[in-house]
């Protein structure tokens, strides 16, 4: 790099100069010359304390990770012969999961002769959703996969 654009310690523009001159200025101030934007024309260098710069970068990254909310998928299993009260109990659990911001996967495993009537299982799923529709939306509609029926519910977005 014959020429670089140099930025000083207080973000002031020091102009375009040779990389040797920039390095000499940085050494004079007992700081480091760091290449900030290598793809710019000419490349941009900054005079900073590199150790402090790395520490601040790591701190910023840690704060970003802390602010992120990881969405978990909680699972609730129903049966095709479930009673109304049991649906209410399971719905209460689903409401808690959805209000915490987690997704809920609702599954039904069909056994024996139940496999001949999967529409009953889908009916149970729809009944379950009617109970908790105020807390979540259907992200993936009830779907039959082999001997299982499942649907995925997501929390309602509030802004």
For the chain, the domains span: 3-66, 73-155
Q: How confident is the model at residue 95 (pLDDT cuts 50, 70, 90)?
A: very high
CATH number of 73-155: 3.30.110.10
Percent of the chain with pLDDT over 90: 47
Q: How confident is the model at residue 96 (pLDDT cuts 50, 70, 90)?
A: very high
Q: Report the top-level CATH class of 3-66.
A: alpha beta
Q: How far apart are CA 144 and CA 118, in angstroms?
A: 8
pTM: 0.57
Question: The tokens of 79 are what?
Answer: 């049966």
Q: How far apart are CA 157 and CA 150, in angstroms?
A: 22
Q: Is residue 138 a contact partner of residue 151, using CB atoms and an 8 Å limit?
A: yes
Q: For 26-81, how does the pLDDT look when each residue is reduced to its tens digit (9 = 90+)?
A: 898 899 988 888 888 889 999 999 888 899 999 999 988 888 777 789 999 999 89
From its phi and psi, is residue 75 left (phi > 0), alpha (psi between -120 and 50) or beta?
A: beta
The pair phi, psi for residue 147, each rounded to 5°, is -100, 15
């Amino acid at each position: 790099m014959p020429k670089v654009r140099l930025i000083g310690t207080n973000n002031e523009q020091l102009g375009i100069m040779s990389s040797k001159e920039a390095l000499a200025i940085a050494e004079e101030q007992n700081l480091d010359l760091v290449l900030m934007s290598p793809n710019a024309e000419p490349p941009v260098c900054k005079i900073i304390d590199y150790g402090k710069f790395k520490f601040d970068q790591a701190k910023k990254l840690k704060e970003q990770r802390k602010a992120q909310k990881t969405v978990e998928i909680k699972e609730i299993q129903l049966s095709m012969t479930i009673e109304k009260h049991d649906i209410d109990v399971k719905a209460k659990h689903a409401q808690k999961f959805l209000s915490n911001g987690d997704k809920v996967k609702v599954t039904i495993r069909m056994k024996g002769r139940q496999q001949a009537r999967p529409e009953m299982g889908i009916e149970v799923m729809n009944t379950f959703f009617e109970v908790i529709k105020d807390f979540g939306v259907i992200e993936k509609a009830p779907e039959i996969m082999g001997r299982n029926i499942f649907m995925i519910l997501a929390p309602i977005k509030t802004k």
